[in-house]
Amino acid sequence: MTEPLLSVRDLVVEFPTRRGMLRALDGVSFDIAPGEVLGMVGESGAGKSITGAAIIGLIEPPGRIVRGEIRLAGERIDNLPPEAMRRIRGKRIGMVFQDPLTSLNPLYTVARQLIETIRVHLDMSEAEARAHAIGLLDRVGIPAAARRIDDYPHHFSGGMRQRVVIALALAAEPELVIADEPTTALDVSVQSQIIDVLKEICAERGAAVMLITHDMGVIAETADRVAVLYAGRMAEIGPVRDVILNASHPYTSGLMASIPTLVQDTDRLVQIPGSMPRLNAIPSGCAFNPRCNQAFERCRIEQPPLIDVAPRHAAACWLAEEETKNDG
Amino acid sequence: MLAFIIRRIVQSALVMLVVALVAFALFRYVGDPISSMVGQETSLADREALRTTLGLNDPFIVQFGRFIGNAIQGDFGISYRLQQPVMELILQRLPATLELALVSGLAAFIFGVSAGVYTALNRRGFLSTGIMAVSLIGVSLPTFLIGILLIWLFAVELQWLPSFGRGDTVALPGGWTTGFLTSSGRQSLILPAITLGLFQMTLIMRLVRAEMLEVLRTDYIKFARARGLSNRTVHFGHALKNTLVPVITITGLQLGAIIAFAIITETVFQWPGVGALFINSVRAVDVPVMAAYLVLIALIFVIINLIVDLLYYVVDPRLRVERGAARH
């Protein structure tokens, strides 16, 4: 494996609140290779979006990174001065947000927002930037881009706006694109189009993607590898196929089982009993143990580390350790 | 756009008609106009004759029509107290009030917006906390008290500024007298302008601060940061413009309020404006002046409202409806 484009090691993010520190991320580590698509799944509040915000350096204060490091192409970026980090945002790491209806400034034309972004990062004249912007809009599939560029965001539909957002995120050809639930707010009929556009353009420019979603279907179709987060900790990470077919963490198995299929004729949808613990009430040992039907004594006392279950596939579960022992 | 303006003008005309009705009712039914014109010894027959010649026995609608007709031509009758045409009196006094209102309104807007933006961007700063504390005083102290305190401090104790009047004025062509061109005129303006504008300034400041904090939390600001735009561009290019949309309305209405409520300030500082004229007219039951003042203030409010609506239109592209709803 080549040197990873993005390397996150033992990342801990905390939010001070009146009732003590909330640990939103607790020792998360993962890599993204150049051009790779990493899917990141988990329930709301599992820490997916915080991970994205931490990488791009936009954690809302008073939240902050208290431990760990983030490296982009080998260079540490989690402790850069604000101005240096600003130059990385948009230029080397692009970001696509969840809701295209609110991601664009309603008072400025699409042209103005694109041109200002391009000119911040690339040495271009107004006219060159405009031509570049029209090319981008055309590439993300906006018909009559040269004419539509002077429209305001409210002239576009939700799907079209998300295309504009993607064009903005990719304006300066970043090496990494963080897409935070890019299709959640969209109509089902345009979701796959947007994912396709994102995937195609990133593939064509060799940009890696960190795709944050709670839609396992999107992950299965799009991602090379998948990371499963639970209560701010990495539960399982590995190639998509491996994780889907051989889920080693009971939480991942539960997630997979809860995807409804048309083939099986069931009356009830499968669900994981209980709900994710609040961040100020995470149980000792494995955070998932109260909901796990295979939990045993050790799970309640000792927090499991990520244990390799197959090449490049690891799960934070004591059962995985048992299995690997038995195999060996 | 044109249809919108015409609709707004028609609405404004209706408002003015209602106000004129109130003013007319005041004029016609508060006291007997005849008894304030003639002496004690006039006979009942003479009074009746005068009543007929003045048209006071005509049906209500005819009299109201005549009132409107005269008002449109700027004829509000003769002041009982000063025996001069009302319109002439008001026009003599209007420059003083408008100059005072303009200066204090402008100062309130400039300082209010700057302080609002500053306190929103440096929320926990020492200076911000100080400004917020002082603004609380500005909001809660009554205008006359502020005026008296300022007179005591700057006119009596320090003797820096005059305590009353408008100073020397210069007559401009068109009957306008201005205090801007003489040093005593400018000095006389300072204390009343502060007194009149302080409340508006703190109001605008608090409004701008609250709106700005709101806007800074929006997705498009986060996205603007994620695109790598500088703090300056994000704060003053994106956030401020969105903040100003609601601020414009309030500020516009406040400008009307400044003119209308200059009464108190003008009384405290013996400022020779329409407010002082109105107060003196109330004391003397000078009904024609009161009616004209009412119509004038309503007209100013209506005109300012119209301008505010048009400004909205300029600032917010979403209101420019003729380009249609979302196109695909």
Mutate to test the interface with B, among A58, A107, A149 (most CBs of B within 10 A): A107
Contact B293, B109 (CB under 8 A): no
Q: Tens digit of pLDDT for each residue in B226-285?
A: 998 988 899 998 999 889 888 888 888 888 888 877 888 888 888 888 888 888 888 877
Contact A197, A209 (CB under 8 A): no
Distances (CA, A) of B294 to A173, B27, B201: 63, 11, 26
Contact B238, A120 (CB under 8 A): no
Tokens of residue A147, six digits: 């004419």
| Rounded-to-integer distance, Cα A311 and Cα B60, Å | 97
Q: With CB atoms and an 8 Å threshold, state whether B242 touches A106.
A: yes
Alpha-carbon distance A157 to nearest alpha carbon in chain B (angstroms) = 6
> Going by C-beta distance under 8 Å and a sequence separation of 6 or more, which residues neighbour residue B231?
A82, A86
Nearest to B242 among A82, A103, A107 (CB): A107
ipTM of the complex: 0.86
Q: With CB atoms and an 8 Å threshold, state whether A116 touches B219.
A: no
Mutate to test the interface with B, among A50, A119, A155, A162 (most CBs of B within 10 A): A155
A103 inside 8 A of chain B by CB: yes
pLDDT value of position A260: 67
* CA within 13 Å, CB half, B163: 12
Q: Tens digit of pLDDT for each residue in A211-247?
A: 998 888 888 888 999 999 999 999 999 999 999 888 8
B81 inside 8 A of chain A by CB: no
pLDDT value of position B324: 43
Q: How confident is the model at residue A264 (pLDDT cuts 50, 70, 90)?
A: low
A129 inside 8 A of chain B by CB: no
Q: Domain ranges in chain B?
A: 86-321
Q: What domains, with CATH codes, occur in chain A?
A: 6-223 (3.40.50.300), 246-327 (no CATH)
pLDDT value of position A211: 94
Residues in chain B with CB shorter than 8 Å from the CB of A102 are 218-220
A157 inside 8 A of chain B by CB: yes
Please give the CATH number for the structural domain made up of B86-321.
Answer: 1.10.3720.10
Average of per-residue pLDDT values in chain A: 88
Residues in chain B with CB shorter than 8 Å from the CB of A168 are 223, 227
Alpha-carbon distance B2 to nearest alpha carbon in chain A (angstroms) = 21
